[in-house]
Structure 1
């Protein structure tokens, strides 16, 4: 690793938010299979974590927005172009996914479409942060844009997902399923 990413060891701690939850989930699932009581405990914890997921994600987005507001405000020409690029991708990927999944049932088509549109940049943010550290170490001046770019992608996708949810919900209520 040192030859690929010549950074201090503490820089690699930025990968912990990716690795620790994966290992914890694996260990919790393995632990829960050993007895019915453990499985019940696991299900209670899983239900609580499912309930807390959206508020925690909102908190994370609020913290990231506040952290990168200066970077976004300094790039008033670049950020709207990025948002337009992400919107264009969502429209093209969503349309292609919907068209290519015609043989599937409606719920499966919706799932495939949402999956094609969402890239969830927050998941790769630790990797972006590690790459930004490496680029900063090498003196690259554009490194400050990396966090703002990920944030712009995430917020654009969030707005697109809200719009898609409204579109699919309206279509379901009106009964004009085949029109989409």
Structure 2
């Protein structure tokens, strides 16, 4: 197994959980490269991209529902830990959001929103396969905290989801208020 085995000494089949991270990245790269070869391919690529953009939110909702249902027992078994984690994630989101907002004030509206959302969210579901590998390694070594990792990622994801909903409402209200004031005589 070489260097990888020394850094992450877990069974080789465990690395298969990284496939959901790697395959979409490689597929996106290949699709973009393929599309640059002709205008017809570019049109096909744009149609597929449009369909995938439309499907993204329902698929993320489905993934979130599946993750929540799969790890609900882990979360319910750690009821004393979850409020502390949620408070930590909320505190981070507020501090990162305020800092990003002030740092991005010189940017245009879309850039300001993008910088702020990027600073606040960490997209825990994307790194979940890595967390699962780490949890498996910790469990393999007999570490009792390994079972907390899934609950931690799920709590972070749900907290971020609620924060993003709140941020969307805040930004909408803030920019609509600015727009109204700018339109007033």
Alpha-carbon distance in 2 for matches of 1:166, 1:151:
23
Residues 114-139 of structure 1 deviation map (CA, whole Å, 9 limit, x = unaligned)? 11101111111111011111111111
TM-score (norm 2): 0.92
Deviation of 1:171 (Å): 1.8
Name the counterpart of 2:69.
66
Match among 83, 96, 99 for residue 96 of structure 1: 99
Deviation of 1:170 (Å): 1.3
Q: For this pair of structures, how many residues does the alignment match?
A: 178
Structure 1 residues 46 and 176, CA, compared in 2 at 3 Å: closer, same or farther?
Answer: closer
Question: Which SS does the other structure have where 1:2 is aligned?
Answer: helix
Structure 1 residues 40 and 81, CA, compared in 2 at 3 Å: closer, same or farther?
Answer: same
Name the counterpart of 2:10.
7
Alpha-carbon distance in 1 for matches of 2:123, 2:154:
10
Alpha-carbon distance in 1 for matches of 2:180, 2:106:
15
Question: Which SS does the other structure have where 2:37 is aligned?
Answer: coil
Match among 86, 90, 95 for residue 83 of structure 1: 86
Match among 17, 29, 34 for residue 32 of structure 2: 29
Alpha-carbon distance in 2 for matches of 1:177, 1:75:
47
Question: Which SS does the other structure have where 2:173 is aligned?
Answer: helix
Alpha-carbon distance in 2 for matches of 1:177, 1:156:
31
Greater CA deviation, 30-39 or 104-113? 104-113
Deviation of 1:62 (Å): 0.4
Greater CA deviation, 147-156 or 100-109? 100-109
Alpha-carbon distance in 2 for matches of 1:103, 1:56:
35
Deviation of 1:8 (Å): 1.8
Alpha-carbon distance in 2 for matches of 1:17, 1:94:
29
Deviation of 1:38 (Å): 1.1
Alpha-carbon distance in 2 for matches of 1:168, 1:5:
42
Q: Say what the alpha-carbon RMSD is for the aligned residues.
A: 1.4
Question: Which SS does the other structure have where 2:5 is aligned?
Answer: coil
Question: Which SS does the other structure have where 2:6 is aligned?
Answer: coil
Paired residues for 1:123-134 under 5 Å:
123-134=126-137
